[in-house]
Amino acid sequence: MSYCLGIDGGGSTTTMAISDNRGNIVAHVQGGPSNLQATSPDEIKDRFEQLIQKLEMQGGGKVSQIISVFAGIAGTGYEKNRYWMENLLLELLPHVEKKLVLPDMINALYSGTLGESGIVQIAGTGSVTYGINPTGKEVRVGGWGYLFGDEGSGAALGMKALQVSLRYFDGRGEPTILLELLQEHYKTDDPQEIISTIYQTNQVKQEVAKIAPLVFQAAIREDQLAKQLIYEAANELALSIETVVNQLYSGEDNPIPVILSGGLFQAELLQTYLKEMLAANSSIELIKPSLPPVGGAIIGAQILVDNELTEEFRQHIQQSFDQLKEKS
């Protein structure tokens, strides 16, 4: 029996999973972030070493039998970062002949298309839109980081929530219960303390993104300003999706799968707005992935070996992750 390793590394967590060649998950571990744009190389190396050790223990020695690795890692769209990650995997897994390092958005795409072409819209801590059509042409839109872009992301939504709350506190903005929710979240009535707490964290982007769920809570309570922020986020995502569609699938009549990946899509209101905005293009098919991103990475690793997936593999990997979800 041979095995493949899928790695999903993002700005918040890193997940690794080993699958046999029939799609059965035999080991699954998770740790902290591994985005090379935001995490030090030393920290990532230590994290990978620890996670691989956990895989070895959990999988009963299967690491030595891995024949392919697919690593979707945030930040590896930059050549120097991809080169560094490839060398790290070579150092940690020297026996594995087939290795491929690509940005983490490929994991998210494959988790919904099961290895086929299509478009993925990621909206989590950050945001990016990526697509590849059947001819192999690729387009990426956004993903410029929270300081310069990441429109429609958790960080962007959290930042806007802070801004409108502070404007309301000053008396120069519309009333919103977001201020009250922020005060409850940070257990202080003083906005200065809230700002200070955010600045003191080692990961400002992640901390600000944690505010995004408060916007959806406020919207459920019919806060109109919160609804407006969510609408604006959906509009940014729709614009990015349409941009990729126009560049990859112009004039296409067949269904165009658009995978919605990331924590923000757990909110029904965001999905509702997005569907309304994209309704004019009947070819666009919005899909919530049936697998987690690391499942997409495993699919990528299996394709490195067999070029295509068997129906048995698809069924088994789905069943394996369904069982993992039930246990968690």
Pair of tokens at residue 229: 């922020």
Strand partners, 17: 6, 28
- From CA 16, how far away is CA 31, in angstroms rounded? 9
Could you tell me if 26 and 141 lie in one domain? no
pLDDT of residue 255: 92
Could you tell me if 162 and 282 lie in one domain? yes
143 pLDDT above the threshold of 90: no
Domain total in the chain: 2
Domain that residue 160 falls in: 117-290
- From CA 4, how far away is CA 241, in angstroms rounded? 32
Mean pLDDT of the chain: 93
Could you tell me if 83 and 143 lie in one domain? no
174 pLDDT above the threshold of 80: yes
Could you tell me if 140 and 283 lie in one domain? yes
- From CA 300, how far away is CA 305, in angstroms rounded? 9
The DSSP-derived string for 234-293 is HHHHHHHHHHHHHHH-TT--S-EEEEEESGGGG-HHHHHHHHHHHTT-TTEEEE--SS-H
70 pLDDT above the threshold of 90: yes
Could you tell me if 186 and 76 lie in one domain? no
Could you tell me if 261 and 301 lie in one domain? no
The DSSP-derived string for 55-100 is HHHHTTSGGGGEEEEEEEETTTTSHHHHHHHHHHHHHH-TT--EEE
Name the DSSP class of 10.
-
93 pLDDT above the threshold of 90: yes
- Taking a C-beta distance cutoff of 8 angstroms, is the pair 201, 140 a contact? no
Which residues lie below 8 Å from residue 315, measured CB to CB, with a gap of 6+? 23
- Taking a C-beta distance cutoff of 8 angstroms, is the pair 34, 10 a contact? yes
pLDDT over 90 percentage in the chain: 77
328 pLDDT above the threshold of 80: no
Give the model confidence (pLDDT) of 288-298 as tens digits. Answer: 999 999 999 99
pLDDT band at 206 (very low <50, low <70, confident <90, very high): confident
The average pLDDT across 255-284 equals: 94
Could you tell me if 29 and 164 lie in one domain? no
Could you tell me if 225 and 261 lie in one domain? yes
Read off the CATH number of the domain in which 75 is found.
3.30.420.40
pLDDT over 70 percentage in the chain: 100
Pair of tokens at residue 167: 């404007």
pLDDT of residue 299: 95
Could you tell me if 9 and 75 lie in one domain? yes
Closest CA to 72 of 91, 100, 44: 100
The average pLDDT across 8-22 equals: 91
**Burial bucket for residue 269 (CB in 10 Å: 0-12, 13-18, 19+):** middle
Give the model confidence (pLDDT) of 108-128 as tens digits. Answer: 999 999 989 999 999 988 899
45 pLDDT above the threshold of 90: yes
